[in-house]
Structures are given as C-alpha cells and as structure tokens.
C-alpha cells in the first residue's frame, strides 16, 4: 500500500468524465420507478383495507403486509436496474493532450480549467466566456491591435483581428485554462482574467489555442511592444 506523508502540500487533478452523469441519471430513474411502485402498492392496500375486519389488524398481520410490500419494491429495483454496459469513453478525457499527460504521469500546472461557450468577442485578444457564470478572458501571449482607437491604420488592423476571432470562436464550445499566480492582481487585468482558450470539436480541444492561432496568422504578437 502506498504510504503518503500526512500534512504535505499537494496538487490534485480530477479529469471530468461524462459517463458519471449518465450513471447517476440511470440510478435516479430506478429510484423514481421504485417510488411509483411503492405508491401503487400502497393504493391497493388502501382500497382493500375496508374489506379487512378491524380485529384482524394485529401486529403479526401488519408485519406481513409491510414485509410483502418491501419485498415487491426490492424485487422491482433489482429487475429494473440497467444492464451493465461498458462505459463510453469521454472524448475530453481521452484527448491526445490529456492521454499523453496521464501516461507520462506529468503534474499539471497550477490553475483552473473549465468548459464553456464563447458568448461574444470583445476584440482580437479578449473574449467573453459563458460557463456557470459569465466572465472575460484576456488571452495570454496575444496582443492584437486596438479596434477602438483614433489611429486609422491600427483601427483597421484591430477590426480585422476582431473579425478573425469571431470566425474562430464566436458562439463555439471551448475549454479555458486560467493559470494560478502568486497574487490575484497577477491573474486579473482591467477586470479580465488571464488565460488560454481552446475551441472544442466533438468534445476534443484543438491542437492550438486561440492565442497561438492569432499570432501564427499575423493578427497578434506574443509581446505588447511588437506590431503584427
């Protein structure tokens, strides 16, 4: 048995798996069906209680009735349970990136990873993500020209970058990684969370994140002082 020292700091990685939700849904279905059967049996009991003389309601008789009802419920649950089937692999869990990391036993970097939808595009380096809540992500290593500026040339390049970002990401499923930093101020800039975004295709992330795509296509640079 593995012995792990107590009191040590650690990093925990919990990969998501959609089949868990399916298993829980199946159990909930059985539970509802069993409850319905119990209510049916109870209604039958109420219909026939008037035909049973009151003097017959002695402890042994009550125990027999309740025992029979319990056996019916247990038998129904046993037969209504879904057959055991092989779990369906989750594309997000078996993606090449995650599979490679797990096989190599690599420790993931500190941070938070969530799935969501790109609700809208602000400009060439900022998007709004809709998950449990709505928040803005400022793409790391991605500096696109400003689309709201008086500089006509920069404005044209900024609008072109925004248009390309809309083509890549607008209203699409995505995976967001927000790396942890020493302080909260290092994770947020101007109300936007710093992070990287991958567009999902059939549950699997694309090979390149949005920052890398925008830089590779010349719509942005990795550093602020450079011009695309």
Residue 26 has pLDDT above 50, yes or no: no
Q: Could you tell me which of 109, 108, 129 has the C-alpha nearest to residue 181?
A: 109
Say how far apart CA 215 and CA 227 lie, in whole Å. 11
Token pair belonging to 6: 């107590």
Domains and CATH numbers, the chain: 18-80 (no CATH), 96-216 (2.40.50.90)
Q: Could you tell me which of 144, 169, 163 has the C-alpha nearest to residue 224?
A: 144
pLDDT band (50, 70, 90) for residue 156: very high
Are 171 and 118 spatial neighbours (Cβ–Cβ below 8 Å)? yes
Residue 58 has pLDDT above 80, yes or no: no
Q: Would you state the pLDDT for residue 13?
A: 72
Instruction: Give the mean pLDDT of the chain.
Output: 77
Residue 3 has pLDDT above 90, yes or no: no
Q: Would you state the pLDDT for residue 11?
A: 75
Using CA atoms of 117, 121, 125, 131 in order, give the dihedral in degrees to the nearest 10: -20
Residue 106 has pLDDT above 80, yes or no: no
What percentage of the chain has pLDDT greater than the value 70? 57
Higher pLDDT, 62 or 125: 125
Q: Would you state the pLDDT for residue 172?
A: 97
Say how far apart CA 64 and CA 73 lie, in whole Å. 14
Residue 36 has pLDDT above 90, yes or no: no
Q: Choose the most confident range, by mean pLDDT, from 94-103, 116-125, 174-183.
A: 116-125
Query: What's the whole-number mean pLDDT along residues 202-218?
Result: 95
pLDDT, tens digit (0-9, with 9 covering 90-100), for 68-90: 667 766 666 566 556 666 655 55
The 3-class SS string of 145-180 reads CCCCCCCHHHHHHHHHHHHHHHHHHCCCEEEEEEEC
Q: Is 127 helix (H, G, I), strand (E, B) or coil?
A: strand
Say how far apart CA 76 and CA 70 lie, in whole Å. 10
Residue 120 has pLDDT above 70, yes or no: yes
Higher pLDDT, 167 or 83: 167
Are 110 and 184 spatial neighbours (Cβ–Cβ below 8 Å)? no
Residue 202 gets the label, from left (phi > 0), alpha (psi -120 to 50) or beta, of left
Using the structure block, give the residue that is written with the tokens 């939700």: 21
Q: Would you state the pLDDT for residue 181?
A: 81
What percentage of the chain has pLDDT greater than the value 90? 42
């Amino acid at each position: 048995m593995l012995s792990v020292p107590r009191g040590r700091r650690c990093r925990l990685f919990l990969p998501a798996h959609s089949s868990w939700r399916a298993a829980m849904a199946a159990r909930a279905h059985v539970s509802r069906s069993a409850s319905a059967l119990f209510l049916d049996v109870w209604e039958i009991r109420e219909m026939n209680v008037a035909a049973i003389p009151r003097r017959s309601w002695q402890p042994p008789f009550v125990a027999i009735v309740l025992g029979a009802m319990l056996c019916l419920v247990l038998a129904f649950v046993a037969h209504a349970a879904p057959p055991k089937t092989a779990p369906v692999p989750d594309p997000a869990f078996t993606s090449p990136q995650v599979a490679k990391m797990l096989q190599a036993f690599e420790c993931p970097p500190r941070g938070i990873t969530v799935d969501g939808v790109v609700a809208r595009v602000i400009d060439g380096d900022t998007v709004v993500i809709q998950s449990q809540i709505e928040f803005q992500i400022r793409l790391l290593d991605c500096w696109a020209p400003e689309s709201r500026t008086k500089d006509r040339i920069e404005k044209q390049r900024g609008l072109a970058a925004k248009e390309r970002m809309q083509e890549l990401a607008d209203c699409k499923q995505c995976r967001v990684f927000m790396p942890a930093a020493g302080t909260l101020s290092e994770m947020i800039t101007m109300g936007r969370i710093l992070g990287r975004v991958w567009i999902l295709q059939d549950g699997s992330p694309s090979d390149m994140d949005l920052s890398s795509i925008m830089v590779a296509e010349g719509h942005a640079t990795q550093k602020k002082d450079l011009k695309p």
